[in-house]
Homo-oligomer: A and B are copies of this chain.
């Protein structure tokens, strides 16, 4: 919980009363490995903050292959925000890649914060925009070759390399797992 507050305070300052309100509205949720935080075809109902563990977003392409769209590591928001806001069905799964611990806000609680805390909307938007921005900044660059993409992945997500299956990383980087295995070999 303190981790969540510390995260939020990066985006603005709050009084003790406001902090207490946030603590009231957030609840802790454990997600065993493999479980879903939200699913394709459903309307996202919660905003999460990842305290511990690794999550990933993925979808199925037209060939039925599972494609990892993003990894989420500690101290980051977990939500398909556009669809959460618009009350529309998500097109991706958000799944716990390892056992996870999150702080979650239900939609009513999340909206209550906007009404109750002056300046919350501002902070909230900064958070969301930063998370969107980081996702694109840390993501693989299409103009680089596969080896460079893998090296940058390691640099951007040093903690993930040995925590998630190679196949997830491969589809994230846009290569087959055979190619990624070859690349791993070639750089050691």
Contacts and interface: CB of A to CB of B under 8 A. Distances in A.
Contacts of A125: 121, 125, 129
A46 to B, nearest CB: 19
Contact of A132 (B67, B132, B140, B173): B132
Interface string A124-141: 010011001101100011
A143 B171 contact: yes
Contacts of A132: 129, 132-133, 136
Contacts of A143: 61, 65, 67, 171, 174
Contacts of A144: 61, 174
A56 to B, nearest CB: 14
Interface residues of A, number: 22
Interface in A52-99: 61, 65, 67, 81-82
A122 interface: yes
A67 B144 CA distance: 10
A94 to B, nearest CB: 16
Contacts of A128: 129
B67 A133 contact: no
Contact of A133 (B82, B121, B140, B173): B82
Q: List the 4 closest pairs (A to B, CB-CB), nearest first.
A: A142-B174, A125-B125, A143-B174, A67-B143
Interface of A: 61, 65, 67, 81-82, 121-122, 125, 128-129, 132-133, 135-136, 140-144, 171, 173-174
Given A81-B129, A121-B122, A142-B173, 9 more contacts: A61-B144, A65-B143, A82-B129, A125-B125, A132-B132, A141-B174, A142-B174, A143-B171, A143-B174
